[in-house]
Amino acid sequence: MLSMKVVIQKINLDTGSVQLYQNLDLRSPWSFEFDRSLLASDPNPEIFPFIFGEVSPFRVSNAGSETKILKTSENNILFSDDYAIPAGFLIGILFPRGYVPESFKFKDKPFIPTGVSIAGASIRPPGHFDLYHNHKEKLAAIVFITTSDTYFGFKCVAKPRLSDFPSLRHSMNSTKEYKNMSFEEIENQKELLRVHRQTLSIYLLQQAKLGTAHTPPSTENGIREARAAIYRIKTILRDWSETINDHPDDAE
């Protein structure tokens, strides 16, 4: 496999940052090693299991402000970035040892299609992506390869799975475990959360006016149902790698 431009985004939990390894004039073959550990002779060991045909100089820098990572209280990693990528790029996101991405979200941004059909819509996807696993070293990476100029937003959540790290080499086409949630679905859930919180505030106001001893069962049931719905929606959104703040009224 040949790639002219390579950017590897390596997530470092110790520093809470993402390091960029860039070579924008690379013509050597590349591979992702699935079935072996790092060798002393491997070139560029910092970005193993990515292997290039020769020792290649990579410029190392920190990612910009558009690249964000967050470690949650459940030890999950939330990663998000906005990309503007010309054709012919390989972008790799290398996760810390034992972490496996389990849900993805893409947000297409407006673009002027270069190749159009009779209907005037783009008929050629701008590239493809895959998820690779190295079971020996317990390392996972997402890889984007662009075939035309494109830009998009991307989010994912990676979970610690050191004890049951996947044995599959490629995952995007071989399991239904991975979910691609649209931004529309996320916004719908956020709107539902807003509505249930508004409903809860109405019931709590009724309870405050009447007093707990005189609150009718319908109001008490309404409070319980609203809080149950709020809990369920927050769980869904957080599973989709969204950051959702708790409200004091969400629970007793």
Rounded to whole angstroms, the Cα distance separating 245 from 24 reads 40
Whether residue 28 is found in the same domain as residue 126: yes
Q: Are 32 and 132 in contact (CB under 8 A)?
A: yes
Whether residue 135 is found in the same domain as residue 194: no
Q: Which of 126, 161, 180 corresponds to the end of one domain?
A: 180
Q: Are 166 and 210 in contact (CB under 8 A)?
A: no
Query: Which DSSP state fits 96?
Result: P
Average pLDDT score, the chain: 84
Beta bridge partners of 153: 82, 107
Q: Average pLDDT in the 108-117 region?
A: 46
**pLDDT bucket at 124, cuts 50 / 70 / 90:** low
**pLDDT bucket at 137, cuts 50 / 70 / 90:** very high
Note if the bond before 49 is cis, omega within 30 degrees.
Answer: yes
The predicted pLDDT at position 125 comes to 67
Q: Which of 151, 180, 209 corresponds to the end of one domain?
A: 180
Rounded to whole angstroms, the Cα distance separating 132 from 33 reads 9
**Is the pLDDT reported for residue 114 higher than 70?**
no
User: Does 194 or 26 have the greater pLDDT score?
Assistant: 194
The predicted pLDDT at position 212 comes to 87
Whether residue 10 is found in the same domain as residue 98: yes
Who's near 190: CB < 8 A, 6+ residues apart?
237, 242
The predicted pLDDT at position 98 comes to 96
% the chain with pLDDT above 90: 49
Q: Which of 180, 209, 233 corresponds to the end of one domain?
A: 180
Count of domains forming the chain = 2
Q: Average pLDDT in the 75-99 region?
A: 92
